[in-house]
Amino acid sequence: MQSSSSLFPVALIATEMAGELHEDVYQLNPGISVDPTVRLAVTRLTDPAWEGQRAPVVLLHSEFHNKRQWLSPRGEGFAALLARYGFDVWMAEMRGHGMSPRNRDWARGHQRLIAQEDLPPIHRFISEQTGRSPVWVGRGLGSRLIAHGIVDNHLLLRHVPGAVFIEPGNPHSHWTEAELSSLERWGLARRDRMRGRARGWGPEDEPALLFRDLYRSQRRCRRSGKHPLYDRLRVIRCPSLVVSMGEDDEARQFAGALGGQIRQTLLSHRYDEDMLRDLKGNGIPVAMQNDVRAWLDEACRAMDTSPVEQIL
C-alpha cells in the first residue's frame, strides 16, 4: 500500500486497532543515509470519536524498547491517553526496533548519526501530513536523541515548537554501566549488539557501538567536565518539560542547561508513594501521565506553529 507524500517514498504497511483507537503504520524511506537500506516505521494513533482539531505529538521510546512502551495492543498507555484527549499521536521507532527493519549498517549506529539522519525526515513527514510542526516527547535515550537532533539540525532547532524529556539521564553515567561488569564493558569492542531481552532490559537489542560512544563521552565528561551534548543544550530554546521518575537532581540539571525561557520540571518528589506505584501500560505513573498531558495541552494551545511550507 502506498501513502501520498511528496517528500520521499512512504508506504502504509499496516492498519490496526488498539481497543477503539486507530493505528496506521507508515514505513519511510528518506534516502538521506549512506546506508540505502534504512527504513523508519512511524505509527499514527487517533481516536475516531474526537471531532475537534488535533495537535501532533511525536513519542520516541527509550533504549531497548519500541512503540509498545507507549501503547499496549489493548489500547492502554500514555499514547492512548493522549489520543483520547484529542492529540494526533505519532510513535516513531528507531532503526531495527519494532516495525523499523534492521538496516545493513545497523551495528554502526550511534546517537548523533541516528539523530541527524532519522529525526528530521520524521519531523518533515508528520508536518506534511498534519500541516503543523509536532511537539516531541522522548524517554531515556529517546530524550537524548531528540536533544541531539535539535542541537545539530537547523530544521529541528527552528521548527520544533516544544519538547518533553522524560528521564534524560546525566552526562556522567548511564544506568547500564552499573549492570555491566568491567570485563563486559571492555568486551563491547568485540560485540555488535547489547541484548535487551537476555538481560531483562526490554524486548529490543541496541548496537554496541552506540553504548561505546555513550560511555566514551561520559568518561571524557568525568575527566574534563566537557560533554558533546550537555554543553550545547543552551541552544534549545523551545518550551520544554523535563520529567523525573526518581532522579530529581538529573532532571533539574538537564532543565537548567536548556536555553529557553520556558523550562519546567516535573519531579517525582511531588507525588506520594501510592501515586508512583500506580502504573498503567508503560511504566509511567498515571498521575504523572496526566500532568504531562496537561502540560502538552497548555503548551500546544500557546504555540505559534510554523507554516508547513517553511518546514518542507
Distance (Å, whole) CA 231 – CA 84: 38
Q: pLDDT at residue 279 above 60?
A: no
Q: What is the mean pLDDT of the chain?
A: 90
Mean pLDDT over residues 184-213, rounded?
91
Label residue 299 by pLDDT band (50, 70, 90): confident
Distance (Å, whole) CA 311 – CA 127: 8
Mean pLDDT over residues 56-82, rounded?
95
DSSP secondary structure string for all residues of 241-269: EEE-SS-HHHHHHHHHH--SS-EEEE-GG
Top CATH class of 10-170+239-311 equals alpha beta
Residue 28 DSSP label = E
* Domain layout of the chain by residue ranges: 10-170+239-311
For 138-158, write each residue's pLDDT tens digit: 999 999 999 999 999 999 999
- Do the Cβ atoms of 194 and 109 come closer than 8 Å? no
**% of the chain with per-residue pLDDT over 70:** 93
According to DSSP, the residues that pair with 2 across neighbouring strands are 11
How crowded is residue 184: how many other Cβ atoms within 10 Å of its Cβ?
Answer: 13
Q: pLDDT at residue 1 above 60?
A: no
